[in-house]
Amino acid sequence: MFKELDENNFNEETNTGLKLVDFYTTWCKFCINQQSVLEELNTKGFWIGKLDCDKHPKVAEKYGISGFPSFILFKNGKIAAQFAGYHSKEQLLNKLTQYI
């Protein structure tokens, strides 16, 4: 299960551990296609948070998000990696395992 993020819980949820945040919109075709890949990673034990950028534009703006989907990998509250666009399961696993 994904953690839904917003202005109120974003910092608290991303402050410790390795956290992948998916910045998405409901109208983005690539975001919709990315969902099944993220579900696979989530079932493998990776923490994944999702932020709907249409509902929470201030958080997206704070991190300079302008394309969708966009991802930020946080490690103990600090940005470890930031990347955008559709990614395969293997591509995301490679990025995540670099920081474990």
Q: Is residue 25 part of a domain?
A: yes
Residue 60 contacts by C-beta under 8 Å, 6 or more apart in sequence? 23, 51, 53
| pLDDT tens by residue, the chain, 100 residues | 799 999 999 999 999 999 999 999 999 999 999 999 999 988 888 899 999 999 999 999 999 999 999 999 999 999 999 999 999 999 999 988 888 7
- The pTM of this model reads 0.94
> Which residues, in sequence order, are bridge partners of residue 50?
4, 22
What are the tokens at 35?
């969902």
Catalytic annotation, residues:
28, 31
Distance CA 61, CA 52 (A): 12
Domain count, the chain: 1
Q: Is residue 60 part of a domain?
A: yes
CATH of the domain at 79: 3.40.30.10
Q: Is residue 98 part of a domain?
A: no
Residue 9's pLDDT is 97
Q: Is residue 94 part of a domain?
A: no
- The parent domain of residue 42 ranges over 3-85
Residue 42's pLDDT is 86
Residue 10's pLDDT is 97
Q: Is residue 38 part of a domain?
A: yes
